[in-house]
Amino acid sequence: MQQTWQDLEMAQPRVVPFLIASLKKDRLSHAYLFNGPAGSGKSAMAIYMAKRFLCRQATGVDPCQVCKDCMRIDHGNHPDLHKMTVDKQTIKKEQVTALQKEFSYRGMESQKKVYIIHDVDKMTASAINSLLKFLEEPTQGTLAILLTENREAVLSTLLSRTQQINFLAPSHENMVAQWMKAGVEERHAHFLAALTGNTALIKEVTDGDWSFQARGVVLQLMKEVYLKRDHAFLTLSDKWLPLLKERFQQQLGLEMIFLWLKDFLYMKIGKEKGLVYVDQLQVFAQIARSTSTQQISRGVEHVMEAKRHLNANVPIQLVMERLLFKIQEG
Ligand SMILES: [Zn+2]
């Protein structure tokens, strides 16, 4: 799926015209800081900028998308595009030094070089010093794009040497559009957009229809928690735990339960618009007879607590068993 400025503009309607204007005036900065939440498209924007910068057949503001440079960027193996990500929580000096060495040679292909550094707020002090030196003496034909989700944690010396660009969190409509572009049907796209709030997860979630299976398990589990108490723990060990192995899957799983309870609560108080599990009305109605509004809201609180426990590295089985008990207790 090749990006274009138009795709990127859907998510960031203010950033793209600004960058295009700089390109048209041939006044790109030598260093940018992209600041914004996860899923706001910083990384995709940085790659597209790199492509336009390194493409030797570009005539307008877009890269040609077909030359050797463009293809290599698509395949993630362009020799003059360097990406750096956080290694065990911090970016170390050795990584920057290696990059500098690389930059002191001429660009192997085009004499131009681009480097993209993720999570620049997590760099160690010595790594920042090396980078600063580099930013103070920019060489012709280099473009640096630093990314962060937390501008407040970026050193001011770094901020002052870069052109800062703020990315907004994507809107629900935009998220739905992106899911649909990834091949997800609309009904499901709404569910996923409400669920993750983060398009960076698109690939991981759509691979192997995982989210469809997880949705099915959540529906079974929640129905059983209220109506067939003993079955719920069996479903937990037989279906939930084997399917939700990765941390991000477990977090999504809890989020799905949260949305289920939210729907249930909305239905209970007669607010049936904007439900996520639109096909569950009958089940909700069945459970609603024996469950009070207070019990459901306490269930929501228990899910919040479970999320905190998961983030504090409590084993998932313990987190889930405790959650099911708590919801059943009311
Ligand atoms: Zn090209």
What's CA 202's distance to the chain center, in Å?
A: 8
Last-in-domain residue among 109, 137, 169: 169
**Domain CATH for 213:** 1.20.272
Higher pLDDT, 278 or 220: 220
Residues 71, 136 share a domain: yes
Dist. CA 19 → ligand 1 center (Å): 18
Question: How far does the centroid of ligand 1 lie from the alpha carbon of residue 29, in Å?
Answer: 21
Residues 145 and 205 in one domain: no
Q: Torsion angle of alpha carbons 210, 211, 213, 217, nearest 10°?
A: 130
Residues 69 and 209 in one domain: no
**What is the distance in A from the centroid of ligand 1 to the CA of 57?**
5
Of the candidates 19, 74, 69, the one whose C-alpha atom is nearest the C-alpha of residue 42 is 19
Side chain identity, residue 302 = H
Give 115 Cα–ligand 1 centroid separation in angstroms. Answer: 18
Q: How far is the CA of 51 from the centre of ligand 1 (A)?
A: 7
For tokens 């983060």, the residue is 198
CA of 2 to the centre of ligand 1 (A): 12
Domain limit, last residue, from 169, 196, 214: 169
Least-confidence region, from 36-40, 91-95, 114-118, 310-314: 91-95
Q: Is the pLDDT of residue 64 over 60?
A: yes
In this structure, are 266 and 238 located in the same domain? yes
According to the 3-state scheme, what is the secondary structure of 51-96? HHHHCCCCCCCCCCCCCHHHHHHHCCCCCCEEEECCECCEECHHHH
Q: Measure Cα distances from 296 to 45, 220, 264, 278, 293 in Å.
A: 42, 17, 8, 18, 5
Residues spanned by the domain of 141: 5-169
183: Cα within 13 Å, side-chain hemisphere: 8
Q: What does the alpha-carbon distance between residue 215 and residue 260 come to, in Å, rounded to a whole number?
A: 10
CA of 330 relative to ligand 1 center, distance in Å: 61
- Ligand 1 centroid to 59 CA: how many Å? 9
d(CA 178, CA 193): 9
Confidence of residue 215 (pLDDT cuts 50, 70, 90): confident
Mean pLDDT of the chain: 84
E strand spans, the chain: 31-35, 81-84, 113-117, 142-148, 163-166
Contact 168, 195 (CB under 8 A): no
Same domain, 14 and 80: yes
Cα-to-centroid distance, 328 and ligand 1 (Å): 59
Residues 172/194, Cβ–Cβ less than 8 Å: yes
CATH number of 123's domain:
3.40.50.300
Q: Please tell me the distance between residue 73's alpha carbon and the centre of ligand 1 in angstroms.
A: 9
**Could you tell me which residues are beta bridge partners of residue 81?**
114
| Centre of ligand 1 from the C-alpha of residue 178, in Å | 25
**159 and 290 share a domain?**
no
Is pLDDT of 56 > 80? Answer: yes
Number of domains into which the chain is organized? 2
Q: How confident is the model at residue 125 (pLDDT cuts 50, 70, 90)?
A: confident
- Please tell me the least confidently modeled range out of 129-143, 145-159, 222-236: 129-143
Edge to edge, what strands does the sheet with 142-148 contain?
81-84, 113-117, 142-148, 31-35, 163-166
Of 158, 141, 129, 134, nearest to 35 by C-alpha is: 158
How far away, in angstroms, is 71 Cα from ligand 1 center?
7
Residues 117, 24 within the same domain? yes
Distance between Cα 110 and ligand 1 center (Å) = 12
Question: Do residues 226 and 311 both lie within one domain?
Answer: yes
* Residue 39 clears pLDDT 60, i.e. is over it: yes
Among 111, 143, 169, residue at a domain's last position = 169
